[in-house]
Amino acid sequence: MFVFPAFAALTGCVTHEPSVYGSPNPGCSGSAVVENSAGGSRFLKDRFVLRVVNGMKVVLSPKPEFDPILLRCGRQMVEIAFVGFKNGIGLFAIGAEAECVFEPSAGHHYVVRGEITDDVATLWIEDLDTKQPVTEKLRAGITARQQFDPVRTYP
């Protein structure tokens, strides 16, 4: 009889409330969802991610392209980034970052996008429903970061 309550306590549902990033804005309540994206180009795996909101680093899992991020509506200063892994002498992380103002609307769904050409990353956030950019398209130079460490979470 004591096994069941102990088992139930150990296997009970635990809910985790996701963090909501961004500063509250007067006259705007609610949040939007921002997704990271992954794609392939000349690199093994490219990731386009929301990295920082108003100076606060966004916590990402090892597969950040699957983590939806809740962001308060209204004007927010964000950093979006490209992170990729390039096969040279070993694997090296490469990346680029750019800052912009982003004004998400409550209830909307957005995705971080990017394009890679030569040594330049073009980064932006687009509305998932309309497929239209909602930030300017930012260009940033791609630089080598460090040797790949499979235990570390990138970016």
Per-residue pLDDT tens, the chain, 155 aa: give them: 444 444 444 444 444 456 788 888 888 889 999 998 876 555 556 788 888 999 998 887 666 556 788 999 999 999 998 887 655 444 456 788 899 999 999 999 999 998 888 788 899 999 999 999 999 999 998 876 554 443 444 44
What's the confidence (pLDDT) of residue 31?
92
What's the confidence (pLDDT) of residue 108?
96
Alpha-carbon separation of residue 84 from 37, 43, 70, 119 (angstroms): 12, 6, 24, 12
Tokens 């950040």: give the residue. Answer: 64
β-bridge pairing 46-53 and 56-57: antiparallel
